[in-house]
Amino acid sequence: MSTTESLQAELATFEQHKALLLKDEGKFVVIHDQEVAGVWGTYEDALRAGYQKYGLQSFLVKQI
Amino acid sequence: MPILTAAIAADGPVIPILIGVSGPRAQALKDAGLAIPTPVLVRGLIDTGASCTAVDPQVIADLGLEPRGTISIVTPSTGTGSHTCNQYDVALVFLMHPGGVHVKSLTLPVIESHLDGQGIRAFIGRDALADGIMIYNSQSGTLSLAF
């Protein structure tokens, strides 16, 4: 799967979970493929968590 | 508080800025036994009309970055619609002058935009200026920026 395809899959996962995630509006979610890794208060914290969990694999960091 | 002072050039408030991979990405590269790309020193135009910082695609390529998200943006050229841009995580370092003292370092997502034809390689948006104090003095032709 290309990086673009991975990102599209992760954006689709975000849309699937959006209603639930909105309770943390303004925070940052990390998503890898169909897995929601968690929510963090800052972009940098979310980014760090994403790299620690998924290394150099594709993952999405998105503000909710 | 370190203060960056730059002359306002013919093309506006342009400052030197160092763009590198983000700290978390640098650690992941190191953990994988890969080289960390050398940060790129560019001319960046301060653009308070831009909500997010943009860098030239060549910088993205030089740093070997992959998209980490997307964002919808509205510009004069998008009319009433919006345009979706990829976001890339980077470290930005504000410098007193090229090769000089670090004034401020921050990690943030940037979008890519073809800028090289304008003689700059970054638009520095309000996200990068969020904690700053900026004085644009057109009478003296200087820009001062402190964090």
Q: Which of A6, A47, A53 to mutate to test the interface with B (most CBs of B within 10 A)?
A: A47
**Residue-level pLDDT at B43:** 93
User: Per the CB < 8 Å rule, is A3 touching B22?
Assistant: no
Residue pLDDT, tens place only, B83-130: 888 999 999 999 877 777 788 899 999 999 888 788 899 999 999 999
Q: Looking at per-residue confidence, does B25 or B102 come out higher? A: B25
Which residues of A make CB contacts under 8 Å with B? Answer: 3-4, 7, 11, 43-44, 47-48, 50-52, 55-56, 58-62
Q: Note whether A13 and A50 are within 8 A (CB).
A: no
The CA-to-CA distance between both ends of chain A, in Å, stands at 25
Interface contact B32, partner A, CB < 8 A: yes
**Residue-level pLDDT at B2:** 82
Does this model's pTM top 0.80? My answer is yes
Strand, helix or coil for residue B48:
coil
Q: Of B33, B40, B109, B60, which is closest to residue A55 (Cα–Cα)? A: B33
Owner of token pair 């004069």: B76
The phi, psi pair for B86, rounded to 5°, reads: -70, 150
Residue numbers of B between 97 and 126 with CB closer than 8 Å to A: 107-109
Residue pLDDT, tens place only, B39-83: 999 999 999 999 999 999 999 999 999 999 998 887 777 777 788
User: Per the CB < 8 Å rule, is B89 touching A47?
Assistant: yes
Domains by residue range for chain B, with CATH: 3-146 (2.40.70.10)
Strand, helix or coil for residue B140:
coil
Burial class (CB in 10 A: 0-12, 13-18, 19+), B110: buried
